[in-house]
Amino acid sequence: MGRAGLSALAGDFADRVVGALVSNLKLAAAVLLTGFGVLAALVTLPVLTIVLAVSIGVSHGLPLVAPAGAGGPPLAPGELTCPAPGAAVAQPFGPSALPGEPAMFGYPHFHTGVDLAVPQGTPVRAAEAGQVIDASGQTDSLGLLVGYGNLVRVVAGDDRVDYYGHLSAFGVSRGQVVQRGQVIGFAGSTGYSTGPHVHFEVRIAGTPVDPAPFMQPC
C-alpha cells in the first residue's frame, strides 16, 4: 500500500474518531440535561404546588353564597355574646397590613372580622340564635383548606349572617337550629391562619360590619 493509501486510511480513521466523540458528547449532554431536568422537577414541583394553593385561597374574601333578605333587625350593644369566653383579641376589625387580607372599603387589605385567640380545641359558642347554613371546610381546587378553613355560618336575621372560621372541628351541621351560647365548633388554625383562634365575623346584606361594639366582653 502506498503513502497516499496510508494517508487516506489515517484520515478516515480520524474522521470516525471525531464523529464518535461528538456523538458520545451529545449523548452525555442529553443524559446530563435530562438528569438535571428530573432533579429540578422533583425540587420545584412541591414548591409550585404550595405557591399555587396559597395564591388560590389566602384571602378571607373568597366568594361565599349567603342569603339576602329585606333587612334584619339592627344589632344593639351587648346583643352578641362572645363566641369564645376568656379569649384575647388577636386582630380587630379594620385595615390590615397582612397581604392575604382582601381589598375592601378602599383599603388594599382589610380584616373583615375579629380574631379571638384561644387554645386549640376551645369550644366556640353561637353569639346569637339562628340556623346553620354552612358547616364545612373551605377548600381550593387541590382540596386544601384555605381562607376561613373549617367554617360555620349562621343566619341570625333576614340578611344577617355570623361567620365562625378556622375551626378544628364542627359541633353542628347544615340546617340545624342553634341557640345563643350553644357549642357550634372548636377553635383551631385551619385555612389561612397563623395560630389557634376563631375568626368571628358578622355580615349584613353581605357587607362585613365590626361586631365588637355589639359583643359582650369576653
Catalytic residues: 197
E strands in 140-209: 145-155, 160-170, 177-178, 183-187, 197-204, 207-209
Please state, as a whole number, how many other Cβ atoms lie within 10 Å of the Cβ of residue 131.
Answer: 14
CA angle 206, 207, 213 (to 5 degrees): 125
CA atoms of 121 and 164, how far apart (whole Å):
14
d(CA 64, CA 73): 22
**CA 172 – CA 179 distance, rounded (Å):** 11
Cell of 173: 351541621
The set of residues, in sequence order, having a beta carbon less than 8 Å from that of 8 and lying 6+ positions away, is: none
- C-alpha angle 212-67-209 in degrees, rounded to nearest 5: 20
How many other C-beta atoms lie within 10 A of the C-beta of residue 164? 31
Continuous segment of H or E residues that includes residue 54: helix 3-57
